[in-house]
Copies of this chain bind each other. A is one copy, B any other.
């Protein structure tokens, strides 16, 4: 299986960047690849918010890595955490083992950045991993169950107030999906609960949501969300998050037991004794070829890359990660074949964000779309990109069903998923009890 003369490429992270990197190296002569990830599955991040909003099941947006590598004799998977990289000696530490490499592609992506907002890390729910999404789903459903047997109206209102901090794509999509979950199936499930007590609040510090689109689409998004019952608060910077809820810079307070933080992300590179140039937000400043300046055998791809194009850094989104993963792998091949690595150029095909039933915004090339047509585009593109036939089928069935019947199938509070081994928001933050 392993040819001794083959060069060893280690890819860290099986997100979009890592996955497209390993695919590019499948079957390439003289190359063997080890793909390392702490999870044995790839997560389709664009639909993560739907797991949090009990729309699809976690298994439906994840795919086993080993199945993706099946039959590829030059690629293997290692489940583990890379704790350190020794760039100079081309070695890394994983599960207490030292693993040498000829080339490395770091695609460890990004994590939640709380921007040093007081209490945010402790009291807010992140939404970056499948685990986060399941914990959030359990927590939201638990809030409703507790509210159902709660007599104190203030405590009940606090349990039923859901504040989403951050008006980017994740914040907008989650606010829309949560509002539909509540106003559809949960309203029918909890007929004894006064629905006036329920509120979904979307908080954004800037004066508009979705800054990557034109102001017109931002305004449309805000209008649609408000029509769906979401309380959109613009120009509302957050000062503190606590057990009481969210405190804004102007001193006002929104009492809530559930604050979801989608406002910031930052790079999560493995530690190292060697110095690599970092940008604001802990991303690695690479050469245009995606190489790390002093260690030309090490590439970076995806959210972790800080690379400017036309004066602005590339966004941390799936299309950039996919193209960079592929590009980093191609540059490894070029370098290995004695050629020169070439600079990466992002082919921007567009962007899209769904708001809710029949409503989305999209940009394809220079054209902008909104409403039903954008929503259909969003659905088609997401189903096409979801990995695995069964995942596609199950997600389609769920979406059609929910569309026709205003229903959600996935509303279980699975007890095993309330506490992650590392400890998390659920541990820090038990729902206040009377």
Decide yes or no: A413 and B39 within 8 Å by CB, A57-B59, A390-B398, A421-B419 being known contacts.
Answer: yes
- Does A414 count as interface, using CB distance less than 8 angstroms? yes
Q: What's the tally of chain A residues with a CB closer than 8 Å to chain B? A: 53
Q: Which of A71-85 contact B (CB under 8 A)?
A: 76, 78-80
Contact A192 B76 (CB under 8 A): yes
A391 contacts across to B, CB distance below 8 A? 409
Contact A409 B76 (CB under 8 A): no
A185 contacts across to B, CB distance below 8 A? 67
Contact A78 B149 (CB under 8 A): yes
Is chain A's interface secondary structure helix, strand, loop, or mixed overall?
mixed
A58 contacts across to B, CB distance below 8 A? 412, 414
Contact B388 A393 (CB under 8 A): no
Please, what's the 1-or-0 string for A127-143, where 1 marks a CB less than 8 Å from any CB in chain B? 00011001100000100
Bound form: Cα–Cα A393–B400 in Å:
14
- Does A280 count as interface, using CB distance less than 8 angstroms? no
A66 contacts across to B, CB distance below 8 A? 189-190, 411
A192 contacts across to B, CB distance below 8 A? 1, 76
Bound form: Cα–Cα A343–B10 in Å:
70
Contact B421 A415 (CB under 8 A): yes
Closest B-chain residue to A79, C-beta based? B145
Bound form: Cα–Cα A397–B393 in Å:
9
- Does A64 count as interface, using CB distance less than 8 angstroms? yes
A38 contacts across to B, CB distance below 8 A? 415
Nearest CB of B to A189, in Å: 4
Contact B390 A64 (CB under 8 A): no
Contact B67 A411 (CB under 8 A): yes
Decide yes or no: A188 and B70 within 8 Å by CB, A149-B78, A397-B390, A410-B59 being known contacts.
Answer: yes
Decide yes or no: A97 and B416 within 8 Å by CB, A57-B57, A410-B59 being known contacts.
Answer: no
- Does A9 count as interface, using CB distance less than 8 angstroms? no
Contact B70 A189 (CB under 8 A): yes
Contact A64 B412 (CB under 8 A): yes
Closest B-chain residue to A398, C-beta based? B390
Bound form: Cα–Cα A141–B57 in Å:
19
A344 contacts across to B, CB distance below 8 A? none
A80 contacts across to B, CB distance below 8 A? 149
Tell which of B41, B190, B390 touches A401, judged by Cβ atoms closer than 8 Å. Answer: B390
A189 contacts across to B, CB distance below 8 A? 64, 66-67, 70
Contact B419 A416 (CB under 8 A): yes
A401 contacts across to B, CB distance below 8 A? 390
A412 contacts across to B, CB distance below 8 A? 39-41, 58-59, 62, 64
A57 contacts across to B, CB distance below 8 A? 57, 59
Nearest CB of B to A99, in Å: 10
* Contacts A/B (CB < 8 Å), 19 sampled: A39-B415, A40-B145, A40-B411, A58-B414, A59-B409, A59-B412, A66-B189, A66-B190, A67-B411, A78-B148, A79-B148, A130-B414, A131-B414, A394-B397, A415-B421, A416-B418, A416-B419, A416-B420, A418-B421
Known: A58-B412, A70-B188, A415-B421. 5 other contacts (CB 8 A): A66-B411, A78-B148, A79-B145, A414-B417, A418-B420
8 shortest A-B CB distances, which residue pairs? Answer: A66-B189, A416-B417, A79-B145, A131-B416, A64-B411, A41-B412, A57-B59, A416-B420
